[in-house]
């Protein structure tokens, strides 16, 4: 599936001659750091050369799941291999041999890999599909038994009525899932819907893959998002960890259903033209011993660094040794496995900052000084692993998308390896949501700084694409509030009904919710992300069932019933979000050059910019409306409104006449060749397009009518 010859990724990348310093031509301020750039590039090339010589290239190396774990031949012969060099003896145990700890001993090779071959029994596999299995290791010192879940296992299940410890399952279904739909083309503009399967239901339960496929996918498609980012899929022992304490890296979480159910979800999304990304956690691993990788062969350093370096003090988890040959095989094969087995289209890499630095970002406030990105605080092995991961993924899967979650702003994160970069497609604009929350907590509306707002939204590295967002899952977690909750607070429980008073608090909250999203979408990056439910202003935070809340599901759900209720105002925010996504689909501003900001008026609180041939006008003033407001625009012509936050169908006050035709005047204004005069009511935004671009039925298309 989608594989290519070794030569695509086996040979060292182009740019060896520049020794990984081609990035300096993009950013001359990197000139003093050429030695550090050369060092990391050289180490990446050394790894590629070593893998070529010892493994036959990255392409073969990344097929580790065809070497390790349980392999079933066409004649039903089962071969099981596991790397556990510290173990003295190893045995395969399970339902198939009545858990006899001595009957099925494994053989060890010179590299610490244990193997056993089970011949078919009466023409059938010796191990029954979905039956329980473990590896039983005799470990040094006291020669005690250490029983573990196989590291490459593809299916684990948990019965909390019996124990929180997972059981490994031999997953060998008689009928393999067949994908019906090809991967969609790589989207020119990534409009990402960040989602968690388990919370994707109004009901207080763990929603299933089937629930998501039947109920949530059509909603995402109708909203106009073309990409889904699925969180908490890799199996994690504790539901409340939000998927960030992985114990089985090759297993899809069983709490939502079967592997085939997940495949059907991805396949159905592809049928709708939707790209599906996996939230991958290679920054750390669960410290679980009985059902994780920790102390697998009773050593502290099999997959992880030994001692303190192998432990994340804030996350209470284990840290991978990215300089280990077998760890690289495990992690690179893990990426390829999710692409091949489940047909994912790419990854959002979680916790990249922790991977890049030996301090993991703990207690570090990144100022943007270049010295912070180079030197002894950088984990060069972590940097090189990410280089190899991106080289592998983009070589094997040309349409693959990779996104880095990095708070530090490391240069070169989204520059190709051939130029000395790490090779990601996008980075997350993590400063943007922080700005909104800080202002809503600390500033009066009249004190919002238009210069600071536009600077934060446009402050991104040249040539490195960014995913902008107003709020993600991080801002929805318990202890914080969603943007609409910050804006409206308790009135969300009393005044979001269309039959209740449209209070000043609700009016302000809904207006700013739309404006914040629109300016982030238009100005903030080359991609856009929304966390599920926030498109309609979900009224409550997110909190998973845990001991501290009485194991309640009340906040571990998304109330999709709210925007569907015609008596509630959530429908208007939902419809506006859809209009915004569909307008982007038509005009493609996310994949257009960065905007030209012609006005950021601090007194009027007005921001004006142009992007993708559109004229964007925002009035953030809390009380002042402006008549015949002069706005500069480069292209002459007749303009019409294509997005209007004040429209009645989006819960606005309908003060802007969408039938108005705006004619340009040939007179320079704000460094633009022409100007138009517009009426901009308080707390409104509108986007104007040249009349000839509208097309037949455009207004009906963006109205959508939920």
Any idea what DSSP says for residue 513?
H
Give the confidence band of 685 by pLDDT, cuts at 50, 70, 90: very high
C-alpha to C-alpha distances, 94 to 75, 91, 136, 255, 258, nearest whole angstrom: 21, 10, 10, 22, 21
In this predicted structure, what is the pLDDT of residue 16?
A: 39
Residue range 611-621, pLDDT digits in tens: 999 999 999 99
Residue range 277-326, pLDDT digits in tens: 999 999 999 999 999 999 999 999 999 999 999 999 999 999 999 999 99
Any idea what DSSP says for residue 656?
S
C-alpha to C-alpha distances, 378 to 22, 42, 106, nearest whole angstrom: 20, 15, 41
Which residue from 336, 419, 302, 298 is spatially nearest to 27, judged by alpha carbons? Answer: 419
In this predicted structure, what is the pLDDT of residue 10?
A: 38
Mean pLDDT of the chain: 94
In this predicted structure, what is the pLDDT of residue 706?
A: 43
Give the confidence band of 475 by pLDDT, cuts at 50, 70, 90: confident
In this predicted structure, what is the pLDDT of residue 8?
A: 40
**Sign of CA pseudo-dihedral 558, 563, 568, 571:** positive
In this predicted structure, what is the pLDDT of residue 399?
A: 95
In this predicted structure, what is the pLDDT of residue 575?
A: 98
In this predicted structure, what is the pLDDT of residue 696?
A: 67
Residue 516 has pLDDT above 70, yes or no: yes
In this predicted structure, what is the pLDDT of residue 356?
A: 97
- Structural tokens at position 160: 């909390």
**Sign of CA pseudo-dihedral 409, 411, 416, 421:** negative
Which helix (H) or strand (E) segment is 221 a member of?
helix 217-223
- Structural tokens at position 328: 């690289």
List of residues 6+ apart from 548 with CB closer than 8 A:
none
CA–CA dist 398, 235 (Å, integer):
27
The answer to whether residue 380 is catalytic is no
- Helix then strand count (H, E) for the chain reads 17, 29
C-alpha to C-alpha distances, 24 to 16, 34, 36, 411, nearest whole angstrom: 14, 8, 12, 10
Give the SS3 label for residue 690.
Answer: strand
Beta strands in 14-57 (DSSP E): none
Which of the residues 405, 406, 526, 585 is marked catalytic? 405
Residue range 411-429, pLDDT digits in tens: 999 999 999 999 999 999 9
- Structural tokens at position 349: 């890499």
- Structural tokens at position 35: 């030695």
Range of lowest pLDDT (176-180, 315-319, 697-701):
697-701
CA–CA dist 55, 49 (Å, integer):
10
CA–CA dist 219, 577 (Å, integer):
12
Cα 193 → chain centroid:
9
Give the SS3 label for residue 36.
Answer: helix
C-alpha to C-alpha distances, 580 to 519, 574, 661, nearest whole angstrom: 11, 10, 21
C-alpha to C-alpha distances, 5 to 2, 52, 180, 334, 353, nearest whole angstrom: 10, 13, 25, 19, 33
Which residue from 70, 264, 63 is spatially nearest to 156, judged by alpha carbons? Answer: 70
Residue 704 has pLDDT above 60, yes or no: no
CA–CA dist 257, 267 (Å, integer):
15
CA–CA dist 210, 227 (Å, integer):
19
In this predicted structure, what is the pLDDT of residue 699?
A: 53
Residue range 491-514, pLDDT digits in tens: 999 999 999 999 999 999 999 999
Mean pLDDT within 21-42: 94
Give the confidence band of 1 by pLDDT, cuts at 50, 70, 90: very low
Cβ 685 vs Cβ 519: under 8 Å? yes
CA–CA dist 574, 470 (Å, integer):
15
Percent of the chain exceeding pLDDT 70 equals 96
Which of the residues 235, 297, 350, 425 is marked catalytic? 350
CA–CA dist 37, 22 (Å, integer):
9
C-alpha to C-alpha distances, 399 to 57, 252, 345, nearest whole angstrom: 21, 23, 7
In this predicted structure, what is the pLDDT of residue 11?
A: 40
The answer to whether residue 442 is catalytic is no
The winner for highest mean pLDDT among 112-116, 242-246, 371-375, 693-697 is: 112-116
List of residues 6+ apart from 162 with CB closer than 8 A:
none
Give the confidence band of 705 by pLDDT, cuts at 50, 70, 90: very low
Domains of the chain (ranges, CATH numbers): 7-61 (no CATH), 69-150 (2.60.40.10), 594-703 (2.60.40.1180)
In this predicted structure, what is the pLDDT of residue 598?
A: 98
């Amino acid at each position: 599936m989608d594989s290519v010859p070794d030569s695509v990724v086996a040979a060292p990348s182009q740019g060896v001659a520049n020794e990984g310093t081609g990035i300096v031509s993009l950013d001359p301020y990197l000139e003093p750091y050429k030695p550090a750039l050369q060092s990391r590039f050289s180490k990446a090339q050394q790894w590629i050369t070593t893998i070529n010589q010892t493994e036959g290239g990255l392409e073969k190396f990344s097929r580790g799941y065809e070497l390790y774990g349980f392999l079933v031949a066409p004649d039903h012969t089962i071969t099981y291999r596991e790397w556990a060099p510290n173990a003295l003896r190893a045995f395969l145990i399970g339902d198939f041999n009545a858990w006899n700890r001595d009957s099925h001993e494994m053989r060890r090779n010179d590299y610490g890999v244990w193997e056993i071959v089970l011949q078919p029994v009466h023409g059938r596999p010796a191990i029954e599909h979905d039956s329980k299995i473990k590896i039983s290791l005799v470990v040094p010192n006291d020669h005690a038994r250490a029983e573990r879940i196989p590291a490459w296992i593809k299916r684990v299940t948990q019965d909390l009525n019996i124990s929180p410890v997972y059981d490994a399952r031999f997953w060998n279904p008689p009928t393999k899932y067949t994908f019906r739909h090809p991967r969609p083309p790589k989207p020119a503009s990534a409009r990402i819907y960040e989602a968690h399967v388990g919370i994707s239901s109004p009901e207080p339960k763990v929603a299933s893959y089937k629930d998501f496929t039947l109920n949530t996918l059509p909603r995402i498609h109708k909203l106009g998002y073309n990409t889904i980012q699925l969180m908490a899929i890799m199996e994690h022992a504790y539901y409340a960890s939000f998927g960030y304490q992985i114990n089985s890296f090759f297993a899809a979480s069983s709490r939502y259903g079967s592997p085939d159910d997940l495949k059907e979800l991805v396949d159905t999304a592809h049928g709708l033209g939707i790209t599906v990304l996996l939230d991958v956690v290679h920054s750390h691993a669960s410290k679980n011993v009985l059902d994780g990788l920790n102390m697998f062969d009773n050593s502290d350093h099999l997959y992880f660094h030994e001692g303190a370096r192998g432990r994340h003090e804030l996350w209470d988890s284990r840290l991978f040794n990215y300089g280990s040959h077998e760890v690289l095989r495990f992690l690179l094969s893990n990426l390829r496995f999710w692409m091949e087995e489940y047909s994912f289209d790419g990854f959002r890499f979680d916790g990249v900052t922790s991977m890049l630095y030996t301090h993991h970002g703990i207690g570090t406030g990144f100022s943007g000084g270049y010295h912070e990105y180079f030197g002894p605080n950088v984990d060069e092995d972590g940097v090189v692993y990410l280089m190899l991961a991106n080289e592998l993924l983009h070589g094997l899967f040309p349409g693959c998308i990779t996104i880095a979650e990095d708070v530090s702003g490391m240069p070169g994160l989204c520059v190709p390896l051939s130029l000395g970069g790490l090779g990601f497609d996008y980075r997350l604009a993590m400063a943007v949501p922080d700005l909104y929350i800080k202002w809503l907590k600390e500033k009066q509306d009249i004190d919002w700084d238009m210069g600071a707002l536009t600077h934060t939204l446009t402050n991104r590295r040249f040539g490195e694409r960014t995913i902008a967002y107003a709020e993600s899952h991080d801002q929805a977690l318990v202890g914080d509030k969603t943007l609409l909750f910050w804006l409206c607070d308790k009135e969300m429980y009393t005044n979001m009904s269309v039959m209740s008073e449209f209070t000043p608090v609700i009016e302000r909250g809904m207006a700013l919710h739309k404006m914040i999203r629109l300016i982030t979408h238009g100005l903030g990056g080359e991609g856009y992300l929304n966390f599920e439910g926030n498109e309609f202003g979900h009224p409550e935070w997110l909190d998973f069932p845990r001991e501290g809340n009485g194991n309640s599901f009340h906040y571990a759900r998304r109330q999709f019933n709210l925007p569907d209720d015609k008596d509630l105002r959530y429908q208007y925010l939902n419809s506006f979000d859809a209009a915004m996504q569909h307008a982007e689909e038509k005009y493609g501003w996310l994949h257009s050059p960065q905007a030209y900001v012609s006005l950021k008026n601090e007194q009027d609180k007005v921001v004006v910019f142009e992007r993708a041939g559109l004229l964007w006008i925002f009035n953030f003033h809390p009380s002042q409306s402006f008549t015949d407001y002069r706005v500069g625009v480069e292209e002459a012509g007749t303009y019409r409104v294509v997005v209007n936050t004040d429209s009645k169908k989006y819960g606005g006050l309908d003060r802007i006449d969408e039938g108005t035709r705006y004619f340009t005047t040939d007179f320079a204004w704000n460094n633009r060749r022409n100007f138009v005069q517009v009426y901009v009511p308080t707390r409104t935004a509108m986007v104007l397009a040249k009349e000839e671009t509208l097309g037949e039925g455009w207004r009906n298309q963006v109205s959508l009518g939920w």
